[in-house]
Amino acid sequence: MDRVETMRAISQDVLGGPEVLREVRVERPAPRPNEVLVRVRATGLNPTDFKHRARGGFLGEPPFVLGWDVSGTVEAVGVGAALFAPGDEVFGMLPYPFGHGAHAEYVTAPARAFVRKPAGLDHVRAGALPLVSLTAWQALTEQADVRPGQRVLIHAAAGGVGHVAVQIAKARGAYVIGTASAGKHEFLRGIGVDEPLDYRETDFAQAVREVDVVLDTLGGDVSVRSLRVLRPGGTVVSLVPAGPDDFRQEAERLGVRAVRMLVDADHSGMRAIAQLAEEGRLRPTIARTFPLADAAEAHAAGETGRTTGKLVLVVD
């Protein structure tokens, strides 16, 4: 009988706080046709990990292994997966939401979830980028088509999504207004924000006008209030899937666009992100790294909601 190969993974049997996470040994997956098996070197943490750990979300009841961000090395390729060969260094996002499982030593996924990792980008930085960058890329280029000279407002500009969205908007030639608490304004200027706004002191809806695109990472009344800072024809892209019913109605009344979106695995988006990273125009800030075994501590740090940049799990 063949010996079953196992691997370490961070799993949970019940929903709850970070303490429900535990390291387990599970069977190592094998790549199916058109899939690759990737040895994970680094994997980013995202608020969607904390939400699924606590409430199940799209995944329902555990057990499950969370995580969507991957940077690693191709270990094996499935039948027909001709894009890569064993040994290739790749990064990408597992299909969201049902392709989860990156918080482990190995994952399988469709080969096209991945692109080659630029040589100058280390695994920690590459593992931080995929989910937040694809989100920002899809919001700012597909939904909003940001163009040179346009005014873009990014809420929570120092966060995981926000700090890459700023850099993508700048790479497209936009003027960027970004919100964060005052202590983070130097950081915002450093990543290219033209106009930092302290959301604790200033109401953006009073202070900002004539905006072409708003990236709404916050939801609640921020979604509807963001519509009011737009120029006619402008767009608010909200990343919060459920929210007030009046978002679309108010947009229609004002002659602007209201979009809600979920990030989607996207090979061409990942290629664009790899190129921006290679050109030095997209650089993630790493707030802190944790060994895979300390995933619970990493979740606890992340769900404070105060992270500047990204938290990353490193898989030795």
Q: Does 43 bind ligand NAP (CB under 6 A)?
A: no
- The binder of ligand NAP chosen from 53, 123, 155, 225 (CB under 6 A): 155
Q: Angle at CA 243, nearest 5°, toward 217 and 295?
A: 50
Decide: helix, strand or coil at residue 115: strand
Least distance to ligand NAP, CB of residue 84, Å? 26
Place of tokens 């970070």: 18
User: Contact region for ligand NAP (CB under 6 A) — 81-89, 206-214, 266-274, 306-314?
Assistant: 306-314
Q: Does 229 bind ligand NAP (CB under 6 A)?
A: no
Alpha-carbon gap, residue 218 to 215, rounded angstroms: 9
Q: Does 186 bind ligand NAP (CB under 6 A)?
A: no
Q: Does 156 bind ligand NAP (CB under 6 A)?
A: yes
Place of tokens 């125009």: 281
Decide: helix, strand or coil at residue 73: strand
Indicate the residue among 72 and 130 with the shorter CB distance to ligand NAP: 130
Indicate the residue among 108 and 138 with the shorter CB distance to ligand NAP: 138
The pairing of beta strand 64-65 with beta strand 35-44: unpaired
User: Contact region for ligand NAP (CB under 6 A) — 11-19, 34-42, 226-234, 260-268?
Assistant: 260-268
Q: How many CB atoms lie within 10 A of CB 192?
A: 18
User: Contact region for ligand NAP (CB under 6 A) — 27-35, 114-122, 261-269, 273-281?
Assistant: 261-269
Closest by Cα among 273, 302, 286, 283 to 136: 273
Least distance to ligand NAP, CB of residue 172, Å? 19
User: Contact region for ligand NAP (CB under 6 A) — 31-39, 84-92, 103-111, 178-186?
Assistant: 178-186
Binders of ligand NAP: how many residues, by CB under 6 A?
28
Closest by Cα among 88, 65, 77, 86 to 111: 77
- The binder of ligand NAP chosen from 72, 130, 159, 234 (CB under 6 A): 159
Indicate the residue among 6 and 202 with the shorter CB distance to ligand NAP: 202
Indicate the residue among 83 and 176 with the shorter CB distance to ligand NAP: 176
Decide: helix, strand or coil at residue 45: coil
Are the C-beta atoms of residues 56 and 66 closer than 8 Å to each other? Answer: no
Torsion of CA 297, 15, 124, 126, to 10 degrees: -160
Containing 40, the helix (H) or strand (E) segment is strand 35-44
- The binder of ligand NAP chosen from 48, 108, 150, 223 (CB under 6 A): 48
Alpha-carbon gap, residue 93 to 100, rounded angstroms: 9
Q: Facing residues of 24 across strands?
A: 9
Q: Does 180 bind ligand NAP (CB under 6 A)?
A: yes
Residues at the site binding ligand NAP, with contacts judged by CB under 6 A: 46-48, 132, 135, 155-156, 158-162, 179-181, 184, 199, 217-218, 239, 241, 261-263, 305-308
